[in-house]
Amino acid sequence: MLLDKYQKPLYWHIRGIVKNHEDADDVLQNVFIKVYKGIKNFKEDSKLYTWLYRIATNESLTFLKRRARHLQISNEELQTRIVENLESDVYFNGDDIQLALEKAIAQLPEKQQLVFQMKYHQDMKYEDMSEILGTSVGALKSSYHIATKKVTAILQAD
Amino acid sequence: MKTTNNIPSKRGFKVPQDYFDTSREVILDNITLEASLSSSSNERYDIPDGYFDNSKNEMLATLSRKLEEESTPAQKTATKVISLKSYYYSIAGVAAALLLLASIVWSQLDTTAGIESIAIAEYLDGEAGDLEQIEFADWLSDDDIDALHNDIALDESVIIDYLDDRTDSYHFYLD
């Protein structure tokens, strides 16, 4: 069944973007509702896997934008607040290095954050990422390269 | 793709105990609810047999008819254009006629009044001068005479002076 197969990977993909467990849970619910509603319109020419990830990515980004608008702050400011809250999050047990890495990722532009997470943390293929994000493989490689250099520089500076 | 179990341990993220089991139930409940809501919302209404088959053809026919009407606007649905020039001409014509009529009426009224005044003045100067007071008074109606009496406020001294002038001296009577 679709839910059994994709529940966990989609959850962790969403969690990597929104960071907070409760938020990730909300977004996951919405994703499966959308999947249920849109499964009839799913085109067989694209992979089910990339279609699901595209929905999950869009829902996560929409969630963050809506949250930022609700708090009347910029997306960058929201990212900073989210990683600051990680230190007191009961569902985060990372060490100092992992926390520093999350803070460094949060300073990247939105697209580079996505690319870094999907490549570094999920080791996704560039071809799949290209389908999910609607960006060429070359641009994704370049973006990942730049993101890696930035994260390294931020960590070294700290 | 990496196994999903590696991701939380790598990033420091964790989930509540038995989260994925309970989450699965919640998601399924939500989907079931969504399905029942979407289906029940349509079940409240009934539609004629074969509506969707017929409605598609009717819709296409209506659409093509409207497109045809739009493509020939001059023949069928030409917008009525009202010339402002003729409108202004008619307004100006009516205004001119009214002005002419008003000026004629005004001049006639004015002329009549003038004729009457002149005629009366000439008559009084030329012919009424020879009339006796009694004849002049004949022209007046009773109402006019009453009005005259009402308007004249005679002073007693004036009456005495008048009588003095018109009558002989009282010495004459005494004599």
The CATH number linked to A12 is: 1.10.1740.10
**Tally of CA atoms within 13 A in the half-sphere of B167 that contains its CB:** 11
User: Mean pLDDT in chain A?
Assistant: 92
pLDDT at B69: 80
When pLDDT is averaged across residues A45-69 and rounded to a whole number, the result is 92
Give the total number of structural domains in chain A: 2
> Does the beta-carbon distance from A91 to B26 stay under 8 Å?
no
When pLDDT is averaged across residues B113-132 and rounded to a whole number, the result is 64
Query: In the listed set A73, A93, A113, which residue is the last one of a domain according to the structure?
Result: A93
Residues A152, A100, single domain; the answer is yes
Name the residue with tokens 């969504």.
Answer: B34
Q: Is B13:A15 a contact under the CB 8 Å cutoff? A: yes
**A10 conformational bin, left if phi > 0, alpha if psi -120 to 50, beta if neither:** alpha
pLDDT at A12: 93
Q: Does B85 touch chain A (CB under 8 A)?
A: no
When pLDDT is averaged across residues A52-74 and rounded to a whole number, the result is 96
Residue A47 has pLDDT above 80, yes or no: yes
**Tally of CA atoms within 13 A in the half-sphere of B153 that contains its CB:** 0
User: What residue segments make up the domains of chain B, in order of their start?
Assistant: 1-70
Higher-scoring residue by pLDDT: A56, B109: A56
The nearest alpha carbon in chain A to B33 belongs to: A33
- The CA distance from A48 to A51, in Å, is 5
Q: Does B31 touch chain A (CB under 8 A)?
A: yes
The neighbouring-strand residues paired with B13 are: A92
Q: Which residues contact A137 (CB under 8 A, 6 or more apart)?
A: A126, A127, A129, A130
What is the per-residue pLDDT across B27-65, written as a single tens digit (0 to 9) for each? 888 888 877 766 655 555 566 677 666 666 776 787 788
Residues A86, A146, single domain; the answer is no
CA distances from A125 to A98, B44, B140 (A): 23, 48, 127
**Tally of CA atoms within 13 A in the half-sphere of B152 that contains its CB:** 10
Residues A79, A139, single domain; the answer is no
Residue B82 has pLDDT above 50, yes or no: yes
> Does the beta-carbon distance from A9 to B4 stay under 8 Å?
yes
Which of B2, B7, B28, B31 to mutate to probe the A interface, most A CBs <10 Å? Answer: B7
Residue B1: pLDDT band with limits 50, 70, 90: very low
pLDDT at A124: 93
pTM over 0.90: no
Domain of residue A26 covers 1-93
Residue B111 has pLDDT above 50, yes or no: yes
CA distances from B29 to A32, A59, B21, B23, B32 (A): 11, 20, 13, 10, 5
ipTM of the complex model: 0.73
> Does the beta-carbon distance from B2 to A122 stay under 8 Å?
yes
Residue A96 has pLDDT above 60, yes or no: yes
Higher-scoring residue by pLDDT: B173, B116: B116
- The CA distance from A79 to A105, in Å, is 9
Residues A61, A81, single domain; the answer is yes
- Which chain A residues are Cβ-neighbours of B16 within 8 angstroms? 21, 91
Residues A48, A124, single domain; the answer is no
Name the residue with tokens 């606007």.
Answer: B73
pLDDT at A43: 74
Higher-scoring residue by pLDDT: B130, B117: B117
Higher-scoring residue by pLDDT: B96, B107: B96
Name the residue with tokens 């014509």.
Answer: B93
| Residue B53 dihedral angles phi and psi, to the nearest 5° | -65, -45
What is the per-residue pLDDT across B139-162, written as a single tens digit (0 to 9) for each? 677 777 676 655 566 678 888 888
Name the residue with tokens 């985060």.
Answer: A92
Q: For residue B13, with 0-12 CB atoms within 10 Å meaning exposed, 13-18 middle and 19 or more buried, which class applies?
A: buried
pLDDT at A114: 95
CATH number of the domain to which A144 belongs: 1.10.10.10
Lowest mean pLDDT among A10-14, A144-148, B101-105, B153-157: B153-157
pLDDT at A11: 93
pLDDT at B72: 72
Q: For residue B125, with 0-12 CB atoms within 10 Å meaning exposed, 13-18 middle and 19 or more buried, which class applies?
A: exposed
Residue A23: pLDDT band with limits 50, 70, 90: very high
> Does the beta-carbon distance from B27 to A32 stay under 8 Å?
yes
Give percent of chain B with pLDDT exceeding 70.
Answer: 50
Residues A16, A87, single domain; the answer is yes
